[in-house]
Structure 1
Amino acid sequence: GQIHDIYKVGDTIRQVKLSLESQLDMDLKDVCIAAAGRVLRTVNSTAEYEFEEETRVTQEDIYSLNLLAVEHAHNKINDGSSKEKFYCVGNTPIRYQLNDYDIGNLEGHKARKIYVELIATFLPEEVVDGLYEAVEYAGLNVASLTLEPIASMNIAIPEQYRLLNICLVDVGAGTSDICITKDGSIVAYGMIPLAGDEITEKIAKNYLVDFNTAETIKIAASNPENDMVTFNDIMGLEQKVPSSEIQAIADESIANMAKATADRIIELNGGKSVNAVFVVGGGGKMPSYVGHLAKDLSIAPERVAIRGKEVLTTVDFNIEGFEKDSLYVTPIGICTNYYTQKNKFIFVNVNNERIKLYDNNKLTVFDAIMQIGYPNEKLFPRRGKEIEYMLNGKTRLVRGLPGEGAVITLNKEQASLNTPIEQNDVIYVEESTIGEAASMTLGQIEEFGSDITFDVNGKNIVCPRFAYVNGELKSEFYDIRNGDAVRIENFYTVGQLFTFLDLDYSKYDI
């Protein structure tokens, strides 16, 4: 998590390192680490894009829309005043809208307006920096860095299961970390500040014991082999209590924790429940936890299960008397991440700037451009300067011509926003161009092109309309300027009609 005292933590890491070196009779130089799920920040964000005319939506349009929403999320999390940097480690669309109506998939539809609501997850750079600094102070080199929820996921949920909408809950001491998969990818992360310590505190208050004793009682009561639990309270009196009674005492805290976890899962999963939940970590081992969680998620009880021994069958522990347990799922996942090298940090170069990205196995040019804070408007074609003028008291707008979109190259090859990227890729973005400024003459105004017909001495006389700009009569070739007030009249004065007919009206009594 967030390290508060880098050097004290570094000293503790060094002590562990020395102990392990003594046991193994070898020097240790590399270490695999993980950032805790509780340091991740999740932001809900929306974006909409309005086409100038009805347009068939492409995958590139959807990428652009998501990019807008993630950019808005970046702005939210930075709040404009903070210089803190964040790595976007994932984003998942919750819903799309087509012309203000909800729709499952925008691609291929004709649209005037498209909209997305998504969840973006960010990892603060200072957390990563603190982790690296602490282990380096202890004389170790970071061999791989992942996220704790992903480490758990890699062990507890085999890759072939991740096409399903599954949730993994790692119930620790202070927090419960949540990770959700769908369509083969990890789509959301979350956390609630409720976990095993809530249960321990409840037991401590009820039986008048210190925190450590309450923790021992909780573990003993969670073991199905123990019918009775024996302990001494703070008065020094020996107590013998049935495990069922301890479980009943803890049940209120367990129910509250399960309800908060279920609510967060539903929120992260776009307002609906998941297909199944796997629970790891010591805090979720109390017997009633999985039952409460299944009830609050409205899924069958057998679809919520603790994962422990059964997911560690392929791991051999060469330690005498060692018992496999769900407690070890996350540490083993951190270790095996080194060998798979999935979900790690990679370096790429964008416009001659070297940046670090969190690789979630689906990184694209879009992610790299977003990380350097490249302005969104410089990616897409920009229109030239528009003209706004008044016509008979109503505002009219003439748009400039669109320019060219940004030119993106990946390792000197043409690329797009959704082109996948890898370690050490070189990306270059040439910003989009601004199109020609708007231009329009009076003669191009539709109303100016219509005629006025008069009956003069039994003959139809067709006359062009008069146009005044800022009170002055102008010809059809006049170039309209920004802010002009144009008035096109629906009438001629008698004098104007005589002038048009080339008649001398002074001879008539008018």
Structure 2
Amino acid sequence: MEGQRYPEHLVFGLDIGTRSLVGTVGYKENERNFKVVAQCMKEHETRAMLDGQIHDIPKVAESIEYIKNTLEKQIGKKLTDVCIAAAGRVLKTITVKADFEFQSETVITEEHIHSLDLLGVEKAYDVIREETKEDNTNYYCVGYSAVRYYLNNYIITNLEGHKAGNMGVELLATFLPDEVIDSLYVAVEKAGLQVASLTLEPIAAINIAIPEKFRLLNIALVDVGAGTSDISITKDGSIIAYGMIPFAGDEITETIAQKYLVEFNTAEKVKAACLKKKAITYKDIMGISHKIQPEEVLQGVEDTVDKITKGIADRIIELNGDKSVSAVFVVGGGGKIPSFVKLLAHHLGLSEDRVALRGAEVLNEIEILQPGIKKDPLLVTPIGICLNFYNQRNNFITVTVNNERVKLYDNSKLTIVDAALCVGFPNEKLFPRRGKPINFTLDGSKRFVRGELGEAAVIKLNGEIASINSSISQNDKIEIKESTIGADAVYEIRQLSEYKSTIEFIFNGKKIICPKFVMVNNELVSEFYSISDGDEINILNYYTLEQVLEFMDVEYNGQIEVNHVAAPLTEKVYENFTIDCKIGSGMVFSTSSLNTDNENDLYNQNYDNEDNEEDIIKNPEPKEALEENQNSIPNVSAREKKEIEILINDTAVKLSGKDSYIFVDILDFYFFDTKVAQGNSLILKVNGESAEFTTEINDGDITELYWD
């Protein structure tokens, strides 16, 4: 084959069986024909695999590396990627129905169908997680088949090109435990290869052995390997079930080993010689030579073959709704024992011509370019594995997150956040986290102040800075340094938008500025008090008349007027109220007879009475002014310095306490949880235009904040 020219891309398929490994390299010439350019088979030197499960990873890796090196020499090219299949050991199947409703009638494309299938796969994942939550085993979807599609609730063969308001799929998904998949991946990687696609062995086999044109019939395919017999069933144009039993060719070999007292490898050679119908010479473990005829060996394993075929027949009937199928195709080396198809037909209640060993007849569209390779049932699964590469629907990718290897089902839309969540990286640690908030009540209304935002997670993809929405692919290396927590909220009374540090009255024609009182948990505090979580705050927006007079520390007598009306000492005096009273010897100072132009000296005003005495208005401590009357002061909200009103997600919200506002200020007045991502990206808009957290916000603006 030296000097042969091949296409740039060759597909390497590897069937890692219980007894042997078969490697196939080829390419698809067109939609139907596949050309095999090289093939290599190697038997395990030890029982490194049992019942389709790898037990000795290093030994299997050595065999894979041998296959790889041999094929590379044959084709003159280096092989880096390989397509593999898993046996149906401990296989679980889930059937689900998924639907998708279009907003308006839409022409369905291939992308729509793919998305619908993935909806079904995700639904199947939900079902199996619920079913297996008690045993703490992770399961991976290794393949799925659409049993039937629905167009506007009617069954249809192919959705593509049809116009529909809704579409649906009934989907059969197959799952295997992670330990089965992990061992395959590790062995392949130890051999210097990367997994390009993964499928299930019965899926690979059925794509070759039962073409779609035959699937209208109720047919079973049995792939008899060494450790497992994998089963798939078709009906009404679809694959309706997958299953397996853990009995196959090795049981026959073990029977020969026990009957003729030979070790396993010798028994395997005896079994292979029987198929050639030649006399067999062997030595038992005592060193004694023997010669036997094939008929004697076949008669000796009849009971074992009967047990295996009975198990397969029972499983087929169970998967097919407690009834037999119309016909059975058998592939794989284990089914080549002459009595196998006869006994299977008997247990299924079928005539012998309805059960057939499939080989060359199902490989008509396969051209083998390598000389000396005969079309055989053994080749069905390896070639099916290669063909699965072109489908790619049943593919996994492997990436590394913070040095932890993780497999992801490839829906062609995977991002860093998918990988992070798969390894259990907390979603909130991807986004900036706020420090502890302060929750309190202000004049009976609940309020809170957010903590400071920390820094977002630092994410690197293959050494380069990336975002959580960056796309990922096979073998990517992801590093995530979790986000930081910002400082806890710190807020003082004077920062409250409702708080005004002073309150003004007109006393005998002069403006008087008094400190505003604030009570926290029924105790007076200053404007510099740092609010604590759970505080109950009341801003007192008036004085009593008695408190004003105590604050001024003046002697008074006679009638006192508030807003020109006689008032008792308990009268409430609000902002800009006027007070008129007699001071000292009794002269009344009228608000109309005093000069009010000079208001610069607000705390020290001079008053001339008829005795020409000088009285000084003083600023006593708030506690002294309210010591006797604090319980009689109700809660009255202060006027705000400045506020604007906007719409946020169609909700009217008032922003107050600042001279100007930016988008992030909205979060102090409107609750929106940024800790839990409910989409791929956070959308900010102001008046229909994209915005940032620093975009200026003005009165009447229409804003939007939501996850896409």
Whole-Å separation in 2 of the counterparts to 1:119 and 1:27? 37
Q: Any conservation in 1 of the 2:143–2:199 contact (CA below 8 Å)?
A: no
Aligned to 1:158: 211
SS in structure 2 opposite 1:209?
A: coil
Q: Any conservation in 2 of the 1:291–1:304 contact (CA below 8 Å)?
A: yes
Aligned to 2:693: none
Query: Is 2:140 the counterpart of 1:86?
Result: yes
Whole-Å separation in 1 of the counterparts to 2:121 and 2:194? 36
Q: Rate the CA distance shift 1:284–1:85 in 2: closer, same or farther, 3 A.
A: closer
Query: Is 2:66 the counterpart of 1:30?
Result: no
Aligned to 1:295: 346
Query: Is 2:307 the counterpart of 1:253?
Result: no
Aligned to 1:173: 226
**How high is the TM-score relative to the length of structure 1?**
0.54
Q: Any conservation in 2 of the 1:167–1:278 contact (CA below 8 Å)?
A: yes
Q: Which residues of 2 match residues 125-140 of structure 1 at below 5 A?
A: 125-140=178-193
Higher helix share: 1
Amino acid at match of 2:312: T
Larger Rg: 2
TM-aligned CA deviation for residue 154 of structure 1: 1.4
Whole-Å separation in 1 of the counterparts to 2:69 and 2:199? 24
Aligned to 2:362: 311
Aligned to 1:268: 319
Amino acid at match of 2:81: D
Query: Is 2:72 the counterpart of 1:18?
Result: no
Amino acid at match of 2:184: L
Amino acid at match of 2:131: K
TM-aligned CA deviation for residue 84 of structure 1: 1.9
Amino acid at match of 2:383: I
Q: Any conservation in 1 of the 2:89–2:176 contact (CA below 8 Å)?
A: no
Q: Any conservation in 2 of the 1:201–1:211 contact (CA below 8 Å)?
A: yes
TM-aligned CA deviation for residue 42 of structure 1: 4.5
TM-aligned CA deviation for residue 199 of structure 1: 1.2
Aligned to 2:462: none
TM-aligned CA deviation for residue 236 of structure 1: 4.2
Q: Any conservation in 2 of the 1:91–1:188 contact (CA below 8 Å)?
A: no
TM-aligned CA deviation for residue 268 of structure 1: 1.3
Whole-Å separation in 1 of the counterparts to 2:361 and 2:308? 25
Whole-Å separation in 2 of the counterparts to 1:12 and 1:298? 41
TM-aligned CA deviation for residue 73 of structure 1: 4.7
Aligned to 2:373: 322
Amino acid at match of 1:311: V
Q: Rate the CA distance shift 1:298–1:14 in 2: closer, same or farther, 3 A.
A: same
Aligned to 1:242: 293
TM-aligned CA deviation for residue 219 of structure 1: 1.8
Pick the aligned partner of 1:124 from 172, 177, 200.
Answer: 177
SS in structure 1 opposite 2:371?
A: coil
Q: Rate the CA distance shift 1:311–1:29 in 2: closer, same or farther, 3 A.
A: same
TM-aligned CA deviation for residue 180 of structure 1: 1.4
Whole-Å separation in 2 of the counterparts to 1:334 and 1:21? 19
Question: Alignment length, in residue pairs?
Answer: 320
TM-aligned CA deviation for residue 251 of structure 1: 0.5
Q: Any conservation in 1 of the 2:252–2:305 contact (CA below 8 Å)?
A: yes
TM-aligned CA deviation for residue 161 of structure 1: 0.8
Aligned to 2:256: 203
Whole-Å separation in 2 of the counterparts to 1:186 and 1:318? 31
Aligned to 2:395: 345
Aligned to 1:460: none
Amino acid at match of 2:239: I
Q: Any conservation in 2 of the 1:31–1:142 contact (CA below 8 Å)?
A: yes
Higher strand share: 2
Amino acid at match of 2:261: L
Amino acid at match of 1:277: V
Amino acid at match of 1:144: S
Whole-Å separation in 2 of the counterparts to 1:229 and 1:9? 30
TM-aligned CA deviation for residue 192 of structure 1: 0.9
TM-aligned CA deviation for residue 88 of structure 1: 7.5
Q: Any conservation in 2 of the 1:90–1:187 contact (CA below 8 Å)?
A: no
Q: Any conservation in 2 of the 1:90–1:188 contact (CA below 8 Å)?
A: no
% same residue: 52
Amino acid at match of 1:193: P
Aligned to 2:615: none
Whole-Å separation in 1 of the counterparts to 2:367 and 2:122? 44
TM-aligned CA deviation for residue 196 of structure 1: 0.9
Pick the aligned partner of 1:182 from 220, 228, 235.
Answer: 235
Query: Is 2:200 the counterpart of 1:147?
Result: yes
Amino acid at match of 1:134: A
- The more displaced of 196-205 and 120-129 is 120-129
Q: Any conservation in 1 of the 2:144–2:394 contact (CA below 8 Å)?
A: no
Q: Deviations over 1:377-400 (max 9, x none)?
A: xxxxxxxxxxxxxxxxxxxxxxxx
TM-aligned CA deviation for residue 197 of structure 1: 1.3
Whole-Å separation in 2 of the counterparts to 1:243 and 1:169? 25
Aligned to 2:244: 191
Q: Rate the CA distance shift 1:75–1:305 in 2: closer, same or farther, 3 A.
A: same
Aligned to 1:214: 267
TM-aligned CA deviation for residue 222 of structure 1: 2.5
Gaps of 5+ in 2: 1-51, 97-118, 148-152, 156-170, 398-405, 412-417, 423-471, 474-677, 681-708
Whole-Å separation in 1 of the counterparts to 2:177 and 2:222? 22
Q: Rate the CA distance shift 1:68–1:20 in 2: closer, same or farther, 3 A.
A: closer
Amino acid at match of 1:200: T
TM-aligned CA deviation for residue 220 of structure 1: 2.0
